[in-house]
């Protein structure tokens, strides 16, 4: 396996996980990557490592261009195991290398792998000289851990952005402009990893203003060149105004009644010209939850449906509520519907949670006992029409 040259002085020496399908909750339908980069000048820096189970592949790529003895610095932008997992094995081989990271990075890596690693602590804005090339370190707190930082190579305008601007997709063509549907992959990644930290994302984007960035080399997925503003602008948009004239219906029933109500509301919204995505939460596979988060993020209105399950929302509706909370849904609208047997309770519990999230509830709630009849379904259709008007207002 060989290193891939990405600029005059930088090679990609990461690993590809072709079989990855679920990256801690993010759907990865085409696999994923753990990116690591080597910057070569009089001195050599290796930026991040890979998940420990891919160390062999990582090593082979490094060895395709140099011996481990040639590495002067190993830079840890982020301590999470997918990037730091190979540090212990790598530092054993790269005997002269110093391990550069932030103060908090030292704390985390010491805790994970021991205090005896040859740490070199750096501060925000500090630079190291590799020869004619310099690397500057940029603290990026909560992007997406407290210790995270980015590295910026000034001379070639390369931002090693860590998880920021990443995507979990494997593509042998290596570059974002050659990867089909890259924005969809990046959006799914953003929704789960970064949307919970919107303020930090905006601070991070602000911090990058004024830097000449020609290449963004993230730690997952393809590398951005030529069109770096495409992903920078997308991050700004997803953090500030991701909503479209769109509604998400997230529901779970038991005997088909809640499902029929969902159908009536969906038909109404579609006939009113609103984009709709409906999820039967009783049937979602684990990797479809990240698609739900993207749709939550983009929807102006969320429509929750639940059968009352022993006085509560159906269990997977509770999971959906937790995920909704993560994407900062304040200001969105919500409509509630569902069925119950001998006693209700689900919609009240959902309403309480949504109120706490700052979501505007549209009343009345559509709650029916046992099964919806024609009139109930007509009410669902009418409520859908009213909601469509509000979405389009
Ligand atoms: Fe890709 Fe936060 O690790």
Left (φ > 0), alpha (ψ -120 to 50) or beta: where does 307 sit?
Answer: beta
**pLDDT by residue (tens digit) across 206-242?**
999 999 999 999 999 999 998 899 999 999 999 999 9
pLDDT of residue 226: 84
**pLDDT by residue (tens digit) across 355-377?**
999 999 999 999 999 999 999 99
Give me the active site residues, please.
Answer: 24, 78, 80, 82, 144, 163, 189, 220
Flag whether pLDDT at 286 surpasses 90: no
DSSP three-state, residue 296: helix
* DSSP-assigned letters across all residues of 211-264: ---SEEEESSSPBEES-HHHHHHHHHHHHH---EEEEEEEEE-SSSHHHHHHHH
Q: How far is CA 350 from CA 138, 149, 243, in A?
A: 41, 38, 22
Ligand 1 pocket residues where CB is under 6 Å: 78, 80, 82-83, 144, 163, 219-220
In this structure, which residue's CA is closest to atom 2 in ligand 1?
80
Q: How far is the CA of 83 from the centre of ligand 1 (A)?
A: 7
When pLDDT is averaged across residues 174-191 and rounded to a whole number, the result is: 97
* DSSP-assigned letters across all residues of 14-66: -EEETT--EETTEE-TT-EEE--EEEESSSEEEE----GGGHHHHHHHHHTT-
- Comparing C-alpha atoms, which of 164, 228, 225 is closest to residue 8? 225
**pLDDT by residue (tens digit) across 297-311?**
999 999 999 999 999
- Comparing C-alpha atoms, which of 353, 355, 392, 354 is closest to residue 243? 392
In what helix (H) or strand (E) does residue 159 lie, and over which residues does it extend? Answer: strand 158-162
Q: How far is the CA of 163 from the centre of ligand 1 (A)?
A: 5
When pLDDT is averaged across residues 315-331 and rounded to a whole number, the result is: 97
Average pLDDT taken over every residue of the chain: 97
Q: How far is the CA of 162 from the centre of ligand 1 (A)?
A: 8
């Amino acid at each position: 396996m060989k290193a891939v040259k990405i600029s005059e002085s930088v090679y990609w020496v990461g690993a590809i996980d072709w079989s990855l399908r679920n990256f801690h909750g993010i759907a990865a339908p085409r696999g994923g990557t753990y990116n690591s980069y080597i910057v070569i000048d009089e001195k050599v820096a290796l930026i991040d490592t890979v998940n420990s189970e891919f160390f062999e592949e990582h090593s082979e790529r490094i060895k395709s261009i140099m011996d481990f003895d040639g590495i002067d610095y190993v830079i840890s932008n982020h301590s999470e195991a997918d990037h730091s997992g190979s540090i212990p094995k790598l530092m054993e081989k790269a005997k002269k290398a110093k391990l550069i990271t932030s103060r908090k990075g030292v704390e985390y890596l010491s805790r994970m792998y021991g205090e005896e690693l040859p740490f070199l602590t750096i501060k925000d804005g500090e630079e190291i000289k590799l020869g004619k090339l310099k690397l500057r370190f940029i603290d990026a707190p909560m992007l997406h851990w407290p210790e995270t930082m980015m590295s910026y190579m000034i001379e070639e305008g390369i931002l090693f952005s860590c998880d920021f601007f990443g995507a979990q997709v494997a593509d042998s063509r290596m570059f974002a402009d050659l990867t089909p549907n890259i924005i969809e992959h990046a959006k799914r990644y953003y929704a789960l990893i970064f949307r919970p930290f919107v303020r930090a994302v905006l601070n991070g984007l602000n911090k990058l203003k004024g830097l000449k960035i020609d290449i963004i080399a993230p730690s997952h997925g393809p590398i951005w060149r030529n069109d770096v503003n495409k992903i920078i602008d997308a991050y700004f948009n997803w953090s500030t105004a991701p909503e479209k004239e769109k509604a998400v219906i997230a529901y779970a029933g038991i005997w088909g009644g809640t499902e029929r109500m969902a159908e009536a509301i969906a038909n109404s919204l579609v006939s009113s010209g609103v984009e709709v995505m409906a999820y039967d939460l009783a049937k979602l596979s684990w990797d479809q939850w990240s698609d739900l988060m993207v749709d939550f993020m983009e929807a102006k209105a969320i429509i929750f449906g639940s059968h009352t399950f022993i006085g509560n929302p159906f269990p997977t509706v509770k999971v959906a509520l937790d995920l909704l909370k993560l994407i900062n849904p304040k200001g969105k609208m919500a409509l509630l519907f569902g069925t119950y047997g001998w006693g209700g309770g689900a919609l009240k519990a959902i309403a309480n949670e949504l109120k706490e999230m700052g979501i505007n509830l549209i009343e009345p709630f559509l709650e029916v006992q046992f099964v919806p009849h024609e009139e109930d379904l007509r009410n669902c259709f009418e409520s859908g029409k009213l909601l469509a008007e509000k979405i389009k207002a």
